[in-house]
Amino acid sequence: MTRSMIETRDLSKRYGETYAVRNLNLNVQPGRITAFLGLNGAGKSTTIRMLLGMIRPSEGGGHILGYRLEDPDENVALRKDVAFVSEDKRLYPYMTVAQMLHFTRGFFPAWRDDLAETLLRKYELPPGRKVRHLSKGMRTKLALILAIARRPKLLILDEPSEGLDPRGTEQLLETLTSECAEGTTVFFSSHQIEEVERISDQICVIHRGTLVMDAAVDELRQSWRRVDIVMPWAPKPEDFQMRGVEKIRTRGQQVSVVVSENTDGVVERAREAGANAIEVAPLNLRELFLRTIEE
Amino acid sequence: MLWYKAWLETRTRFLIALAGMTALGAWRTYNLSHMMPAWTGASYYYFVLREAHDLLNPMFVLATTLLLMGGLLQEKSNGPALFTLGLPVSRGRLMSAQIGMGLLEGIVLLAVPWAAICITVVLTGPMRPGNLAVFYAMVTASGGAVFAGVSLLASSLIEGTYTAPIVSLGVAFLCVNAPKSWAAVNPSEFMGARAWLDRSNMLTGPWPWGQAAAFLAVAAALIWTSIKVIEKRDF
């Protein structure tokens, strides 16, 4: 079995009585792009910061690239192979683009000057310009260059497309895909479900600090379905509680069931109960996400 | 590389402070030297040095306070803390570079203005003020180290661009205005050095090495506490 790049066990962060992240068991496989989805305040950024030693877990722990994330010394060592792009992409305002590159390359022996220069040209970043004079989009691109040129084994990004125009977003997605093709594992949080759907291999959904879904995108496309049923009477949710059923929503005579497997079983039960109409439809990620976090 | 960052981060503040302290110190000395009454002779220069010292002390405290503003907590409020913390270095090493650069800049902020003052004194009169100038620099460095330690601790405990320097300078203000009965433990009083000078501003006895060491120990404790605070903090 391949060793996980990120593996957490019961990872939790508590502020007073409130859990920002609770008993999180993540498992990120190498060579894949894993998206970390969740609403604002769901616990995405807290999780990422715990992985990188910026926030100390209240309970639980885990490993990144085999290093224990809760050990400060091991956490320093793991950051040699992990690159992180934060949500706000803030860099040192008093440095120029060239100085940022010069500064960062000093920490990473595997730094690739050629790659940094290629990306600098591709993203049209002026080397002599101070960071404080860069737009957020340009800062994002610079942060991405600083992350990629160090040749990380694992690239962690928090809302990477935030602040990018459509062209910048396209360049970002291209870059992430090509990095993954070259062997870098990518783990990123996002709100942009369309982007997630386009490039991700695996999707983890966090809601109120708890992991509510961890599935491969192919599996979601192949097996997850929405079954809309119209019954001659008003059904109760328990009527359709069975294997593979993830969510049930009833309204009057209508019932909508989200299934991860066993679609045929649900359809069969509806038929046996005398359903007036049954419609099976594939779920897109947006719908799936919204259904998953539904209370 | 961390020293490179610390230098780029502080160089504007440092160069402004250095230029200001050197120019003002030399200008004050030059001006006072020209006002020397004929009947005072060489001892007048002790008064000149005393005046220069009194001018440099608050400037030194202000400069070190502003130079030590920075670090991870201030970066947190300004933004780039997450980038810094993503680098493969411990928080202790990050702070060591900041403290080391502050120490180097502090030494230069003492040495260069005093060198300029001494040169001005020598050029305008008959005096060789080496010993007294070193004494003044020593008391400024020891007492000033406590204020530097307070600034570092404030910038490690208090988030916000302006709050930490205001608190640090507030502590300095309280020390300047503290009751005379606290003189033995007051770094501001120590920097003033009046207890070791006679009425003509000449040294009266042995140098206060013990008290200087005690203030340096307090500064070291404040710096150590700052590092521990940052090491334990969530970002």
Q: Which among B4, B9, B235 has the least Cβ separation from residue A49? A: B235
Q: Do B88 and A92 touch (CB under 8 A)?
A: no
B82 vs A contacts (CB less than 8 Å)? 49, 54, 84, 86, 88, 90
Q: What is the pLDDT of residue B39?
A: 65
For B85, which residue in chain A has the nearest alpha carbon? Answer: A54
- How many angstroms separate the CA of residue A236 from the nearest CA in chain B? 47
CATH 2.30.110 fits A224-292, yes or no: no
pLDDT value at A219 more than 90: no
Q: Do B5 and A92 touch (CB under 8 A)?
A: yes
Q: What is the pLDDT of residue A2?
A: 61
Q: Which among B80, B82, B232 has the least Cβ separation from residue A92? A: B80
Beta strands in chain A (DSSP E): 6-15, 18-24, 27-28, 33-37, 59-64, 67-68, 82-85, 154-158, 185-190, 202-207, 210-216, 225-230, 245-251, 254-259, 277-282
Q: How far is CA B195 from CA A101, A224, B183, B187, B204, in A?
A: 53, 84, 9, 13, 9
For residue B24, the tally of other CB atoms under 10 A from its CB is 17
The predicted-structure confidence for B104-155, as pLDDT tens digits, reads as follows: 999 999 999 999 998 888 888 766 667 888 899 999 999 999 999 999 999 9
In this predicted structure, which of A98-102, A268-272, B47-51 has the lowest mean pLDDT? B47-51
Q: Do B4 and A93 touch (CB under 8 A)?
A: no
Please give the mean pLDDT across all residues of chain B: 90
Q: Which of A21, A45, A86 has the most B C-beta neighbours within 10 Å, making it the best mutation to test the interface with B?
A: A86
- How many angstroms separate the CA of residue B7 from the nearest CA in chain A? 11
Q: Do B9 and A76 touch (CB under 8 A)?
A: no
pLDDT value at A289 more than 90: no
Counting the structural domains of chain B, the total is 1
The complex scores an ipTM of: 0.84
The C-alpha atoms of residue A211 and residue A204 are separated, in whole angstroms, by: 7
Q: Which among A49, A90, A107 has the least Cβ separation from residue B87? A: A107
pTM above 0.95, yes or no: no
Alpha-helical runs (H) found in A162-216? 166-181, 193-199
Domain ranges of chain A: 6-219, 224-292
Q: Which among B12, B78, B85 has the least Cβ separation from residue A54? A: B85
Classify domain A6-219 at the CATH topology level. Rossmann fold (3.40.50)
The predicted-structure confidence for A140-165, as pLDDT tens digits, reads as follows: 999 999 999 999 999 999 999 887 88
Q: What is the pLDDT of residue B48?
A: 83
